[in-house]
Amino acid sequence: MKSVLTIGDLEAVASGAELDLALGTIITPLAREEAERRGITFRFAATTEMADSPLLAPKSPAAEPLARVVAIAADHGGFELKEKLKGHLKDWGYEVLDMGTDSTAAVDYPDLAEAAARAVARGEAWRGVVLDSAGIGSSIAANKVVGVRAALCYDRATARNSREHNDANVLTLGARLTPADEAREILAVWLATPFAGGRHQRRVDKIRAIEERQANCEPPRTGESKG
């Protein structure tokens, strides 16, 4: 059982089947439309497995104050999609920290990406989302902030991989390259996917080590010195 059901999860489900879901599971609009088209019905049942899901965590600020806060920012190219995603985040129970912009008037994407990235790095937000027209520039800018691992995602698979393998804490989206419905599903999967740890933790630790060496102005390590 999982906290978010997407259209991709229905590919292996037979038409007319009844699917058991945990109470509180989020069904994305595309998944719901596909289920209706193929006659798939849902049956909800409470389960203790959902207690650890970030999407279904208690809303009490006393328990985990930042686990419900998502910082979001966009330049003029991503403004309209930002506003739509804000609505989805609120519907899913998150507190939204809007770092701008507030219109389609031209602004510089590095300023907005940095604002959201710094909110995550300072611990003011649990995760961050940054948007511009293509997503590339904002991803580059956000990754300049120490402690931030921003991932430009363009489908559910990259969203899941960025969380499972890279422990990405900032999601970057290209508003003019990603339809709003797809962006919503990408965001839902990205928020619900936990970091896998294990061998991936070692690699994330090496990313952090690069940051530390850069901060200390140490030369890159290309191998052991010859004595």
Q: Which tokens is 183 given?
A: 């962006």
Cα 24 to Cα 1, 19, 58, 75, 129: the distances in Å are: 11, 14, 12, 33, 24
Per the CB < 8 A criterion, the answer to whether 21 and 44 are in contact is yes
Question: Strand ranges (DSSP E) for the chain?
Answer: 4-5, 18-22, 26-27, 41-45, 69-74, 95-98, 127-132, 150-152, 170-174
Any idea which residues carry the catalytic annotation?
165
Q: Which amino acid is at 48?
A: T
Coil, strand or helix at 140: helix
From the centroid of its chain, how far is CA 225?
Answer: 41
